[in-house]
Structure 1
Amino acid sequence: MFPGATADRSDAAYVVVGAPLDVSTSFQPGTRFGPNRVRKYAETYDDYDRRTEQFFSELGVHDAGDVRAWDDTPAYVEWLRGTLTDVVWDDALPITVGGEHTVSAAGVAAVDPDVFVCLDAHLDLRDDYDGNPWSHASVTRRILDGWPDDGENDAGDGDAAGGADEATVLGARTGSPEEWERAEADDVTVVPPEEVADWTPDFDDDTSVYLSVDVDAADPGFAPGTGTMEPFGLAPRELRDVVRTVAPYTTGFDVVEVNDRDDGQAAALAGKLLREFVFSHAGHTAQS
């Protein structure tokens, strides 16, 4: 259980769902250990948050455990989408803990936001990677352009074909020529690392956002436990500030790409950002 996630499911305002998918990781595997590792390294955090004067254990967070992953990624994403949609139908906000970044497609499809905001070192705008359209390197492309339909599930039909009208990628510092070309389209905004600290979202009050944190957005000096490290990244406070800023608009949240290849730095950061999201979202909701 994520520390402080003590609410019953029927009373929950936030539901944590682990998604330990580890199929397409292209360098260092281990994201299957991510959800429980994030839970473990969040154990030391105090329940009380001085900034918002809230107790995490009083904010209605429930941990529903993990949705066991298997190697058929389209089928798994569709199953996970159903689990997260049930959370939405119960009037709670889904929080997914990955697992590889591909799981974000399920979260976006469940909440159907206007905008996908992602902290990420990579553009993830490839139509496929090594012939795989369900690679973690293609998740933002899938969310914008649609899911491939193999005829065996609903992915690719109607509203399930994507889920966001536009994407904002914060901290991206690498990509293929094809990805940079796709990023020039009107539905994509890329904010390089050196500009993230000054970034302010231009959202209307009624704009709905899905916020995804790929832990590799952080410089690997802060979070080495991830699959594809990319230097010259963000400092933890920059990730924190984005989470705090975007939380009031958010209808779904995830933190992904934590693996077991460090001494807990990536998992500790991921768990702290999850808590920052809940504190910020709940504080805004209480004031509304």
Structure 2
Amino acid sequence: MGFPGAVAEREHADYAVVGAPLDVSTTFQPGARFGPEQIRRFAASYDDYDRRTDQQFSELGVHDAGDVRAWDDAPEYLEFLGGSLADLVRDDVTPLLLGGEHTVTAAGVRATDPDVLVVLDAHLDLREAYDGNPWSHAAVTRRALDGDPEDEPLATIDGIADRAVILGARTGSEAEWERAERDDVTVVPPEDVSEWTPDLAEESVYLSVDIDAADPSVAPGTGTMEPFGLSAREIRDVVRQVAPNAVGFDAVEVNDRDDGQAAALAGKLLKEFVFAHADPDH
């Protein structure tokens, strides 16, 4: 099924939903390959009309481009996925990526080449590599900032972010926290997210929502749960604030190991992003 309300034809689209069911480096509970399907399914009950912005989702030019089938070579898949997303960007279509593991964010960054990566995440994801794999989901923010450590042709990210803002992070290795102290990284802990105000000026932003930024009580259907997280409203407020500056959006790390709570939140956040992006005055 397509994302509910994503009824625009490709040639008339302003936004495009793209599923990226990559699930090769999940380190605890696999199932992110089912994320795109779950998110579409549990968004089916939401009203088309948004009272806050006085808009109908189905009238905002959203197209569902389906899934880009994943395979087990992550760098090659990311290169292919990034090319597919770049085709959208060249046509002035804003990509709305549904993961899949968080590694797919690297393809979104490659395609949009933002100034800033804003990430809602329980984890820093700033590892140089995890178990020897630089393309693990645990290293995606590092890849978005530093590119490919080996500069292999199939693993090159054409676009990288100048800096990253990580909201809701509450765990990481010692080396990750050291990397986070550099000038190109800002970490906002969960207790401070509600007071965070974007300082984006005229910068372009790629917004990534790892659903594990939410407390597990809110979104248990994810691969690596981490207690003491954000509320659904706190995440929603960030999405609304950042959307007007955004050149791309994703919701990742949803799996099928709950009763739909994580998928329902991700689908609602995608709609909130589109409503706020289409009408930035609200």
Fold conserved between structures, TM > 0.5: yes
Aligned to 1:253: 249
Q: Which runs of 5+ in 1 are unaligned?
A: none
Aligned to 1:102: 103
Cα distance in structure 2, aligned partners of 1:130 and 1:271? 32
Quick check: 1:142–1:162 contact (8 Å CA) kept in 2? no
Cα distance in structure 2, aligned partners of 1:144 and 1:163? 6
Aligned to 1:200: 197
Cα distance in structure 1, aligned partners of 2:15 and 2:43? 17
Aligned to 2:273: 277
Q: TM-score under structure 1 normalisation?
A: 0.96
Cα distance in structure 2, aligned partners of 1:281 and 1:30? 30
Quick check: 1:147–1:161 contact (8 Å CA) kept in 2? no
- TM-superposed deviation, 1:161: 5.0
Residues 47-93 of structure 1: CA distance to partner in whole angstroms, max 9, x if unpaired? 00000000000000000000000000000000000000000011110
Per the alignment, in what secondary structure is the counterpart of residue 35 of structure 1?
Answer: helix
What does residue range 105-254 of structure 1 map to in structure 2 within 5 Å? 105-149=106-150, 151-153=152-154, 155-156=155-156, 160=157, 162-204=159-201, 206-254=202-250
Quick check: 2:113–2:158 contact (8 Å CA) kept in 1? no
Per the alignment, in what secondary structure is the counterpart of residue 16 of structure 1?
Answer: strand
Number of positions where the alignment pairs a residue of Structure 1 with one of Structure 2: 281
Cα distance in structure 1, aligned partners of 2:43 and 2:27? 27
User: Which 4+ residue blocks in structure 1 deviate beyond 3 angstroms?
Assistant: 148-152
Q: TM-score under structure 2 normalisation?
A: 0.98
- TM-superposed deviation, 1:124: 0.1
Per the alignment, in what secondary structure is the counterpart of residue 131 of structure 2?
Answer: coil
| Pair 1:33-2:30 in alignment | no
Per the alignment, in what secondary structure is the counterpart of residue 113 of structure 1?
Answer: coil
Per the alignment, in what secondary structure is the counterpart of residue 249 of structure 2?
Answer: strand
Cα distance in structure 2, aligned partners of 1:48 and 1:77? 34
Residues 159-213 of structure 1: CA distance to partner in whole angstroms, max 9, x if unpaired? x355100000000000000000000000000000000000001111x21000000
Cα distance in structure 1, aligned partners of 2:266 and 2:149? 30
Question: Kindly, what percent of the aligned residue pairs are identical?
Answer: 72
Structure 1 residue identity aligned to 2:147: G
Cα distance in structure 2, aligned partners of 1:152 and 1:143? 16
Cα distance in structure 1, aligned partners of 2:130 and 2:163? 21
Structure 1 residue identity aligned to 2:107: A
Per the alignment, in what secondary structure is the counterpart of residue 245 of structure 1?
Answer: helix
